[in-house]
Structure 1
């Protein structure tokens, strides 16, 4: 194909997230930004996830191609264990992905790059077989990935049992590191994934991170000495940030049906800043004792609360709790979290501190009460309180349970105390910096532009 013909055809990128809600959303949003800059994108996901998507309205310009992970009917839940699923995903998924690439080629469709979730780094091996450039996408904070990298290189020993020092971060207590660093034993398959995601970074053309420069400046500068890092976050729908993508007001992929109208009607009836919003993510599971403490803590706070309790967790609620709390509280199975966090009635966010939820709170200027459960959430909570200054962590007892009295104390501190004043002021600052990052010419927008320029230059050279 002549060079002048190539300039008429947009570059084509495959985006391949790990098949779960929290990993799909960031890459969907990255796709929308690329499309707005003239790049053709195709989302790769598993057959099970593709069949589970409940709504597709806001990303109908993003084609989806399905591959097999070996569990096409039931997905991860039917695998029996993480080890079985991850091994099947690697073995079956790599062959299925290769088949997809061959099909594209047979149809005359060029693939200029594959951007893949760093948790599935075997994707790069498949891409290289076909001579396609690959880019790893980090869905967790640079602070967390920095710690994981130190473990991967053998610089940081695990299990951590003393203070931890890594470049770009303040000294951490061992209990402020990710759970896999404190104790990798209970989840060997996931520990292997997070530590070894860097094993082929030296062969990637790009490394992308779902954060923004001002949020993690020192860590980002250090990581740029290692890899061709492009910081392109936060990957939040445009209508909550720069408003450049007119119809981008939702992630567009829901694997759980939200109780949207019920949530909005209830919130619309509440005074400004009066509601405590509580959610522990799409995977979070509280032990029954913790569920009970949260329930009675919310009741004892005597404040309005909206609590997301997935259907699989409902049986852990105290008997009769939902019926008794219809005036002050609303319990729903799922919600459109961005809509809730941006509602003026919401005064604070009790969160598990997953990085998506953390970024959403920071981007929308909502102070947080941190109740991390495991993995990266523990370090994210440290950042939210001590580095970004947008909230507080609630204390746990010797069994790791947040007692109701401590939850009430945290809620009161943020909703009514001086700590809340400081957290709200800092949250507003980060909200403004977030908008600047993704605005035209902002730091994240520039890094996306550099990637697009790379793609176009590569097309002309090939």
Structure 2
């Protein structure tokens, strides 16, 4: 990272989950490359998995006596209580340094942070780790103010394509599940009223209609895609990987196996991220579908999911497939052997596939994933979405057919061409003078 060239200091507060920390760390690297002092606040138990700070980025550990709750609902309140006790002290300590804090960039789900920032005389910027379209849906369908009915099969919202019920975020339709998370995602709308800036991990042309609509009302800035520079513009020479991995990837095994594939674009990469879980029946159907697709496949099955694999599946793999507990996803997607990404459609994974030009088979589970899958298949046209049966399970035949459609059939050529187009546009967004690059530069200039 470049040396600090001004006295501005930005404090960054991500929610302590890998999918939230990494994009905010990447944004911090972009700020630091412009000579801004950046401090990232990370809870103590996660700090050990972070690389040491370098250049103008510092990592401040937030100590805690008890372990974070495994229950996701309870973890939000735990984090709120913990940070509320320490954030003011940290900011006050830094205010007496050579670089007093000027701006707090906080995860958009931590809406309470904006009040602390303003009370201490700081500016506050909300960082949205999901797409701009998802935020627009939550904005329009807030149950406190929304008058949009859900009794029909289609939902029409400003600046968005027509959405079927099952294409909406799950917290809207599945009203009895995850009540604490549902309340949390809609509370993000507070940011539109209070935050001084709204940062979105996306780029202008990717979500043009909704970005243009939001800009007429709020101070939004697109600053993505936030993936390491070496995979995009290569302007940040040391930015070769994310700042955090809570799972140890099988780097050497994965890359050696991919290198051994002689045919380009012959491998299906399968991963459902760090949180999604599949039932035993779905795991069996997926395993059978991969085997009968007649394609090579690299499948990430986390240690907690391994017991769901069908008996004798591993012994039948031969050289056709490789199953690992975790992998270096960016390196895998960038490998010449990979021709398709079978994905849960988490926003980070979606952006990575778009940025690296890899077509997708979409099998969403919850949260924003159904909407991301809608955009992948119908708006950006870089993939297809599998169809689940009446019991919610995607059959082995549907899985095999979808893979072959992307990998072998005529439609796959069109999907690959579209994926390549978005790869070029993603790079242009972060290149010098690109839309995201300009937005970051404008933000830095505004705080000087």
| TM-score w.r.t. length of structure 2 | 0.95
Match of 2:59 in 1: 64
Match of 1:250 in 2: 241
The equivalences for 1:13-412 within 5 A come to 13-51=10-48, 53=49, 56=51, 62-68=57-63, 72-77=65-70, 81-107=71-97, 109-152=99-142, 154-155=145-146, 157=148, 162-270=153-261, 271-412=263-404
Shift, 1:60, TM fit: 7.0
Q: Take 1:130 and 1:325, find their aligned partners in 2: how far apart are those partners? A: 59
Task: Give ranges in structure 1 of 5+ residues lacking alignment.
Answer: 1-6, 457-462
Q: Take 2:17 and 2:369, find their aligned partners in 1: how far apart are those partners? A: 17
Does structure 1 retain, via aligned residues, the 8 Å contact 2:22–2:242? yes
Match of 2:426 in 1: 434
Q: Take 1:128 and 1:56, find their aligned partners in 2: how far apart are those partners? A: 31
- Equivalent residue of 2:163, what SS? coil
Does structure 2 retain, via aligned residues, the 8 Å contact 1:160–1:181? no
Shift, 1:245, TM fit: 0.7
- Equivalent residue of 1:75, what SS? coil
Inter-CA distance 445–419: structure 2 relative to 1 (3 Å threshold): same
Does structure 2 retain, via aligned residues, the 8 Å contact 1:48–1:73? no
Shift, 1:246, TM fit: 1.1
Alignment: residue pair count? 443
Q: Take 1:414 and 1:61, find their aligned partners in 2: how far apart are those partners? A: 44
Q: Take 2:308 and 2:341, find their aligned partners in 1: how far apart are those partners? A: 21
Q: Take 1:110 and 1:326, find their aligned partners in 2: how far apart are those partners? A: 59
Inter-CA distance 132–371: structure 2 relative to 1 (3 Å threshold): same
| CA-to-aligned-CA distance 1:286-313 (integer Å, 9 cap, x gap) | 1111111111111111211000011111
Q: Take 1:117 and 1:349, find their aligned partners in 2: how far apart are those partners? A: 28
Does structure 2 retain, via aligned residues, the 8 Å contact 1:49–1:75? no
Does structure 2 retain, via aligned residues, the 8 Å contact 1:211–1:232? yes
Q: Take 2:94 and 2:328, find their aligned partners in 1: how far apart are those partners? A: 35
Q: Take 2:380 and 2:422, find their aligned partners in 1: how far apart are those partners? A: 8
Q: Take 1:213 and 1:454, find their aligned partners in 2: how far apart are those partners? A: 20
Inter-CA distance 160–57: structure 2 relative to 1 (3 Å threshold): farther
Q: Take 1:320 and 1:205, find their aligned partners in 2: how far apart are those partners? A: 56
Shift, 1:108, TM fit: 5.2
- Equivalent residue of 1:335, what SS? coil
- Equivalent residue of 2:400, what SS? helix
- Equivalent residue of 2:175, what SS? coil
Q: Take 2:112 and 2:149, find their aligned partners in 1: how far apart are those partners? A: 25
Does structure 1 retain, via aligned residues, the 8 Å contact 2:191–2:198? no
Shift, 1:389, TM fit: 0.4
Does structure 2 retain, via aligned residues, the 8 Å contact 1:144–1:376? yes
Inter-CA distance 410–112: structure 2 relative to 1 (3 Å threshold): same
Task: Give ranges in structure 2 of 5+ residues lacking alignment.
Answer: none
Match of 1:417 in 2: 409
